[in-house]
Structure 1
Amino acid sequence: MLSIYNENEWLYPDTEVNKNTHAHLHTAQNAYIGFQCILDPQEKFKLCHIQMNWEVEQPIETEVFYLESITVDENTDLEFMTTLDYERCKTFVTRQAPFKVYDCLIPWEKVESYEKRIPLYIQFKVGEGTVGEVRGILKLFIEDESKQQKIVEIVIKLQVYDKRLPEQKDQKLGMMNFFCYDNIIKNHGVTLNSKAYWALYRLYVRRQLEMHCTHIMLPYAKSIRNEKNEVVDFDFTEVIKAGEIALEEGAPFIVGACIAHWGEWNDKGYYLLWEPSIAAESLEGYYQLKKYFCKWQSIVDEKGWNRRIMQSLADEPQVYNALSYRAIASVFRKCVPGVNIIEAVETFNLGGGIDIWVPKQDTYEKHREKFQEIQDAGEQMWYYTCAFPAGKIMNRSMDLPLLVSRYILWMVFYYGLSGFLHWGFNYYIGEDLYHEACCPHKGKKLPAGDAHIIYPGEKDVYRSMRYIAQRAGAQDYELFKALPCIQQEQVRRWMQKLCPSFKVYNTEVEQFESIRKLILES
C-alpha cells in the first residue's frame, strides 16, 4: 500500500510499488530535505489529516504535497527544440513522449479528490539546533468513500550533520530566473495593479527567494507618448512597486529589465523594446535610452537603491551585435554610473560592457579559457541554460533525469563560478501547461518545462519537483563553499565521478546519495 522513493528520481502514474515504508534522509541544519511516496490502496481514498511525531521535540517544519501529473507532449530533440521521433533522442531522455510525470506540488489540503493512487512529496525544513540522528513517525489519515478511516505510518530516520546552511543574506551563490509579469494576469485572472495582482507578485517573489534566487528581475517602464505617438517620457510606477516588494521580502538585489533586443539571432544591431523601428545604436536610440536611464537613475537615487540594484540591457549579446551592445552599455554607464551590468552572453568580446558575465553552458565549455581569463581579471562569471542546445546536456527539461536539475547547481561550484541564470521562471505561453508541458515558440516547441519551473494555482503558486531539485542544488553549493579549500578540491574530485561536464553525468541515485553523504561527512 505504501512505497517510499528518493526525491531525486521521477515518479510516474505507472511507477512500480517498492513496498519501502522507511525514509532515511541526510541533511544539514537550516535546510530543506524530503522524499516522495505513493499510497496505493486500490480504491478511492482521500487524505484528511497528517500528524508528525518526533521522538524528541525538534525545530523541524513538515509539509505534505500532492503530486499532480503533467503531460510531456514531445521529447527534447537531439540538437534543437523538441521531436516526436523517439529514435533521435532515446539515448538520453527518460521516456517516449507523450507521457505523464509527477512534477507539480499542490498542498495536500487543496486537493479535493484523488485517483486510486495518491502520490505525495513530504518536505522537512530542519531548523538550527538539530544535530545527530532524529527519529519520528509521520501518520497519514485517509478515508474511503464510506468515510471509513485508515492510518498509514511512515518511519522517518533523519541524520542531521553539524553543518549549517547560511542565511540568504550570507549565501555565496548568485541566481536569477527571468520573470513574466503579464503571466500574473493571464494565469490568475487578476487585474494589473490590483491588490490581488500585487499579493500574487509578492508570493512569486517568495517562491524565487526560497529557491535561492538572489536577483529579482523587474519589469521595464512603460513609454508615455504625445498626440503624434512620439515617446516623450517613461512611467516607472510598476517598476518601483515591484522593486519595493522584492526588497521588503528580503531580495538581496533587484535587476532592471532589458530595454532592447535583436530580431534574429545573427542581426548586427538591437532595437528598442518600446519602439522596434528604432535601432538602439542610432542617434534617436541614444536620445531615448538617455531619457530612460536618466529617469531610472533619479529613482534609484531617491529610493536609495544604489547598492541593491543591477541592470540587464539587451539579452544574449553575441559576436554579430557586440558593437551595438557596447553602444547601449556606454549610454547606461554615462547615465547610471556605479551600477553593475549582468547579462546572458554568447561572446567574450564585450569587455567594459559587462560586470557579471553569464555565458550559456555550452558556450562556456567551448570558450572556457577565454572566460577564465575574464574571471582572472576580477570579473564575476555565472552560466545559464535555455532551450538551445538540446540533446544530452544539462537543463531543467522534464524528460531528462530529475537529478540533472540538481547537478545544474553543482556545476557552478565544479567550474569555480558564482551564479546561475535561467530565463523561464513563469514564462509559459501555451493554453494548458498541465497537459502540454512543451511551450510553443516561433512555430516550434520548447523542451518540456523550459519556460517554467512553477505552476499557477488559485491564489497560489505551486512548486515543481524540478524546483525542489534546483533548490537542493543551491543548498549543496552553499555547503561546498563553506568547506576549507583543500576539502573543496576533494569535493570536485568526487564530482568527477558524477558530473565531469555539462554533457557527461551519472544519474544513478544511489551513487549520487553515497557521494553526497561523503561530502556531508567531510
Structure 2
Amino acid sequence: MANYEFMLTDSLEKVFPDKRPERRLGKTITALGGERISMQLAFYMEYGGCELNEQEITVSFESEIADRIRMRKVELVPAAMAAYREQLDDNYLFTEPCLCPDLLTPVRGGILRPYASQWRAAWIDLLVTPEMCGGSYPVTVSVNRGTELLWSETVTISAVHSVLPEQRLIYTEWLHADCLADYYREEPFSERYWEILEQFVHTAAEHGVNMLLTPVFTPPLDTLVGGERTTVQLVGVKKEEGGYTFDFTLLRRWIAMCRRKGIKYLEISHLFTQWGAKHAPKVMALVNGEKKQLFGWDTKAAGEAYRGFLSAFLPELKGVLKEEGMFEQTYFHISDEPHGEQMETYRAAKESIWPLLADCHVIDALSSFTIYQAGVVEHPIVCSDFLEPFFEAGVEDLWTYYCCVQGHEVSNQFMAMPSARNRILGVQLYLYRMKGFLHWGYNFYNSQHSISTVNPYLVTDAGGGFPAGDPFVVYPAEDGTPYESLRFMVITEAMYDLRAFERLEELAGREYVERLIHEGLEYQITFKKYPKDAEYLLRLREKVNCAIDEMGK
C-alpha cells in the first residue's frame, strides 16, 4: 500500500526528487489584475510494491474561478553543467550534473503519476483578470485516488483594487528563427513555419517580451568562423547590373504578426559579425535567376562591396519601417559584444555606415567601459556584472543583459540557480531605472557556435558550451507550440514585480517604494548584493500589494 504526502508551495521552490520542499504556501495569495499567479502542488509517494499504475492520482479544483486554473507537470531534465567553474559562488542549488525540475508539460484529466520514493511537483497558475479586482476567491485543491480522497487544502486568491500598469521596460528574449526551422524541419517562412513562429511569438509576448529580434538577414550570432546557420532572411535581394532591388514582403508580414501578438519594438539583426565586426553576415540574393550568397565570412566588414550594398539597402529598409509606422520603435545593431581589443574593427564597421544610421536607435551589448568612453557605442546594453562604472558615470537610459558568463554574484536564469536568484532581477531593474533588458536565449537549440543542432529535452547546455538553461527558456512541443520552463514563469514574475513597483510609485512616490524595498535590510541592493532568500521577495510583494490595495481604492 502506498503512503502519500502532499503540500502546496510557492513558485520559487524547486522541487527536487530527493528533498522535501522547504516552504508551505500561505493561506492567502494577493495579486494585481493582469497578473498570472503561480503555486505548486508537491507530492511524494512511498511504495514498496510494483503495481504503480494503480497509484495514479487525480487533482481537482473547486472554486468559482476553477475554469481559469491551469495545471502542468514539472518535469525533470538533464542539467549537465551548472556553470563555468570560475563563476560558481555559494548561491547555487547544485554544482554537479543532475536532473533538474524545469520543463512544464500539460496534464490531461488532472491525472498525475507519482514516482516511488521521489518528490515531484505540479505547477498551478491562473490569470487574475481586471474584473476580479477587489474580490476574494477560495480555491480548494483536492487529490483523489479513485474515489478515495487523499488530501485537500484551500487557498484564497485575493485580487487587490488595481491592475498592473502597462510595461515600460523594453524586454527582448532573442528568438532564433533558424532553430524553429531546424527543429521542426520546416522550410523557413512556409505557411506551417509561420504558424509555428506565431505560437512562439505569442508565448513570448504573454511573458512580457515586447521586442523581437528581426532577421532581415540571417543573424551572425554564435556561429563558428567559416560556418553558417540555416538561412532565415526576411528581405529578398536581387542583384542586377544597375545595383540591387529588395523585396520586403516577408518583413511586412513579420511586422503585421508582431502587431497582432503585442510586440511593440523591432530589433534588427546585427549588420556585422559577432565579437569584433570583422565580416558581413550571410546575405543571399538572386543573381541571374539563381540564388547565391553575396556576402559572408569572406567579406570585409568595412570593405567597399558591403558598404555599397548597405548604402542601397538601409535607406529602403528605413522607408519601409516608416511606412509601417515602426521606425521610432526599431533598434539597430552593429555587432554583438565587442571586447576591448576589437574596438577598432567595430569602430571601422560602424563608421563605414554611420551616415545611414545617424537618425536611428542603435544599441549593442558590451562589457567594456573603455569602448563606451571612446564614444564607439553611444547606447550600450551592459552586462549585469560590469554596470558599476556606467552608473558612476551617470549614463542615462541604460540597458542591461546577462548570458553564460554572468554566473558569479549576479542574477541569471541558470537551472542550477535558486528561483529567487532569477526573480530578484525585477527589484534591480526598478531600483536602477533600467530602460531595457536583453537575454540572448529564448530558443537556441544549437550547440555552441551552431556547429550542430541539439535535442533540447536532452541537451540543455548547448553541448557543454553554456550553463544549463542559458540557451533557452521554452521547449519545442511536438505540435509546434512552445512548452514553458519553470524559469520563464519566474522571470515573468520578476516583470510583474517591476510593474507593481511602478504602480505603487504612481500612488505613493518613488521614495516610498524604495524604502519599502529596503525595509529590514542594512545595505543598498545592487546587481551583485541582494537578499538571496525567497521569503524576502514573497514578503515584499505582499507589502507592495497591500499598500496598492489601500491607496488604490
Band the TM-score falls in, shorter-chain normalisation: 0.7 to 0.9
Q: Which residue pairs with 1:92 in the alignment? A: 91
Whole-angstrom CA distance in 2 between matches of 1:188 and 1:423 = 21
Post-superposition offset of 1:108? 1.4
Q: 1:465 to 1:19 in 2, by over 3 A?
A: closer
**1:139-180, Cα deviation, whole Å (9 max, x unpaired):** 45655xxx66757533122233333202xxx32111111110
Deviation for aligned residue 1:335: 3.1
The one of 173, 191, 195 equivalent to 1:177 is 173
In structure 1, the partner of 2:221 is none
SS in structure 2 of the partner of residue 14 of structure 1: coil
1:225 offset after TM fit, Å?
A: 7.0
CA change 1:325–1:492 in 2 (3 A) is farther
Does 2:167 correspond to 1:155? no
1:121 maps to amino acid: W
Q: Is the 8 A contact 1:183 1:426 kept in 2?
A: yes
Q: For the residues of structure 2 that align with 1:312 and 1:60, how far apart are their CA atoms?
A: 44
Name the amino acid aligned to 1:382: W
**Counterpart code for 1:109:** R
Structure 2 residue identity aligned to 1:245? M
Which residue is 1:25 aligned to? 29
Equivalent in the alignment of 1:2: 6
Q: Which residue, out of 291, 303, 313, partners 2:312?
A: 291
Which residue of 2 is the match for residue 512 of structure 1? 537
The alignment's TM-score, normalised by the length of structure 2, stands at: 0.79
User: CA shift at 1:118, angstroms?
Assistant: 5.4
What is the Cα deviation at residue 94 of structure 1? 0.7
In the alignment, what sits opposite 1:77? 84
Report the Cα distance in structure 1 between the residues aligned to 2:109 and 2:331, rounded to whole angstroms: 38
3-state SS, counterpart of residue 321 of structure 1 = helix
- Counterpart of 1:435? 458
Contact 2:9 2:40 in 1 (8 A): yes
The runs of 4+ residues in structure 1 deviating greater than 6 Å are 110-113, 225-228
Identity of aligned residues (%): 17
Residue 259 of structure 1: how far off its partner (Å):
1.9
Question: Does 1:487 find its partner at 2:508?
Answer: no
Deviation at 1:181, TM superposition (A): 0.5
Is the partner of 1:241 in helix, strand or coil? helix
1:137 aligns with: 139
User: Which stretches in structure 2 are left out of the alignment for 5+ residues?
Assistant: 47-51, 218-232, 283-295, 448-453, 548-553
**Pair 1:381-2:377 in alignment:** no
Tell me how far apart the structure 2 counterparts of residues 496 and 315 of structure 1 sit (CA, whole Å): 37
CA contact (8 A) 1:175 1:419 kept: yes
User: Which residue in the other structure is 1:457 paired with?
Assistant: 477
CA contact (8 A) 2:13 2:23 kept: no
Q: Which residue of 2 aligns with 1:413?
A: 430
Is the CA contact (8 Å cut-off) linking 2:73 and 2:105 kept in structure 1?
yes
Q: CA distance change for structure 1 residues 327 and 409 in 2, over 3 Å: closer, same or farther?
A: farther
For structure 1, the 5+ residue unaligned runs are 81-88
User: Which residue of the partner structure matches residue 287 of structure 2?
Assistant: none
For residues 241-320 of structure 1, what are the structure 2 equivalents within 5 Å?
Answer: 241-262=253-274, 265=275, 267=276, 269-274=277-282, 275-320=296-341
Structure 1 residue 193, shift from structure 2 partner: 1.9
CA distance in 1, matches of 2:519, 2:313: 49
Name the structure 2 match of 1:34: 38
Q: Does 1:422 align with 2:439?
A: yes
Q: Deviations over 1:94-127 (max 9, x none)?
A: 1242211211111212998734365211102111
Change (3 A) 1:19 1:366: closer
Cα RMSD between the aligned structures? 3.2
- Alignment coverage as a number of residue pairs: 491
Distance 1:498 1:426 in 2: 37
> Quick check: 479-488 or 202-211, which moved more?
479-488
> How far does residue 272 in structure 1 lie from its aligned partner after superposition?
0.7
- Does structure 2 retain, via aligned residues, the 8 Å contact 1:21–1:154? no
- Corresponding position of 2:418: 401
Question: Which residue does the alignment assign to 1:105?
Answer: 104
Q: Is 1:61 aligned to 2:57, yes or no?
A: no
Instruction: Please state if 1:521 is matched with 2:546.
Output: yes
Q: Where does residue 344 of structure 1 map in the other structure? A: 365
The structural deviation recorded for 1:336 is 5.1
Which deviates further from its counterpart, 494-503 or 301-310?
A: 494-503
C-alpha deviations, 1:230-262, integer Å up to 9, x for none? Answer: x95655444333222112212111221112124
Q: Which amino acid aligns with 1:134?
A: S
- CA drift of 1:21 comes to 8.0
Q: Is the 8 A contact 1:52 1:62 kept in 2?
A: no
